[in-house]
């Protein structure tokens, strides 16, 4: 059995808004530092449940990444699950979620 770790970040934006932004593949390079041009990302079908599970294929290997946006009052929590992750993997995902938070909480203008 693999070990799972859940990394989360609270974002002061409605879950529907976080989901709308994070679910667009074209937005990934803005907040997910590990995404590169040689990587294929495929999300689950759009859904009303905040499910952002996706598959990342690079170098012929495909990795499944469970991810959720959960409503939390007027804001939301984004939860990313890693399996058998290194400390570097955990730090990278945590940094990506902080970047997502920064982008989505930035004042409009």
- For residue 1, pLDDT over 80 is answered with no
What is the span of the domain harbouring residue 74? 4-105
This prediction's pTM? 0.93
Q: What is the pLDDT of residues 76-103, one digit of tens each?
A: 999 999 998 899 999 999 999 999 999 9
**Number of structural domains, the chain?**
1
Name all contacts of 81-90 with Cβ < 8 Å and 24+ positions apart: 81/4, 81/5, 81/6, 81/7, 82/4, 82/5, 82/6, 82/7, 83/2, 83/3, 83/4, 84/2, 84/3, 85/5, 90/5, 90/7
**pLDDT confidence of residue 22:** 98
Q: What is the CATH number of the domain that holds 66?
A: 3.30.530.20
Contact 15, 92 (CB under 8 A): no
Q: What is the pLDDT of residues 25-77, one digit of tens each?
A: 999 999 999 888 899 999 999 999 999 999 999 999 999 999 999 999 999 99
């Amino acid at each position: 059995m693999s070990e799972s770790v859940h990394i989360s970040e609270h974002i002061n934006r409605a879950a529907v808004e976080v989901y709308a932004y994070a679910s667009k593949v074209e937005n990934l390079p803005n907040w997910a530092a590990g995404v590169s041009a040689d990587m294929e990302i495929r999300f689950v079908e759009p859904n009303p449940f905040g499910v952002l599970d996706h598959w990342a294929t690079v170098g012929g290997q495909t990795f499944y990444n469970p991810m959720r946006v959960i409503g939390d009052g007027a804001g939301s929590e984004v939860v990313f699950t890693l399996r058998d992750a290194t400390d570097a993997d955990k730090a990278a995902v945590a940094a990506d979620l902080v970047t997502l938070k920064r982008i989505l909480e930035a004042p409009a203008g």
